[in-house]
Amino acid sequence: MRRFQESLQALRQLRHVINVGRSGGDLEQVADLVDSFLDTPQMEACIARFRALPGGAAMLEERYPPLQPDIDTLAQLPPGTLGHSYASLILRLRYDPEFFRPRPIDSDGQWLTQRIATTHDLHHVVSGFGTSPVGESGVLAITSTQIGFPAYVSLNHAAQISSFRLDVSRFTALSASISHGVAMGWSAAPFCTARWEEGWDLPLQAWRDRLGVTNPADRAPYGLLVSRPAEEA
């Protein structure tokens, strides 16, 4: 019976992945996929990896708040700081800083899911990956590598299979972006345990030095300084 239930769950998750692809990355579809992994063996393994990281267990136990920054305040910080760089991205792309689905944070899985969701755009800034679909896969690869966040692992696997089978012209760039993200994930300190809120006024480069981000993606073809999503064109 347990194996049957796991098979049904896997089919539901596959449907969510397909829906994300068909919708072009609709945030509600992504949130459905993310939530489908709560209370699963994959999420339990992810939580265990997070808990084992330096500072991870403490963040879980204290339920360190999910990110809820004041964009207007951060925009007033000096250029080049983490806060100003993040606010500039949100304002330039006209993103909603509270794009994430509201969730309770009572369980470890709920808390970790919400922390990952709320800090996603900040990871773009620190890593330098752009917000095009190819750049998104690169930034997802960091968290996939560092803690095996289930939805991100699934999305990147699906993106690779889809591009290889249906749009091979895109596969080279996608593979390069994911490989870059994996390398960054292995070499850098965990992004997911960083307490960004305690260092908004630090230079972005200081954060990169602290985390060991030695090869940011800013100027790569899929980087923040080069690539642009379709809505900006």
What does pTM read for this prediction?
0.84
What is the band of 100 on the pLDDT scale with cuts at 50, 70, 90?
low
**Beta strands, E only, 179-218:** none
Query: pLDDT averaged over the chain?
Result: 86
Q: 127, 184 in Cβ contact below 8 A?
A: yes
- Give helix 120-127 / helix 133-147 axis angle, nearest 10°: 100
What is the band of 34 on the pLDDT scale with cuts at 50, 70, 90?
confident
The two structure tokens encoding residue 136: 């998104």
The two structure tokens encoding residue 165: 């089978």
Assess whether pLDDT exceeds 70 at residue 97.
no
Lowest average pLDDT, out of 77-91, 119-133, 167-181, 192-206, goes to 167-181
Domain boundaries, given as residue ranges, for the chain: 2-232
Lowest average pLDDT, out of 101-115, 162-176, 184-198, goes to 162-176
- Give helix 120-127 / helix 82-92 axis angle, nearest 10°: 110
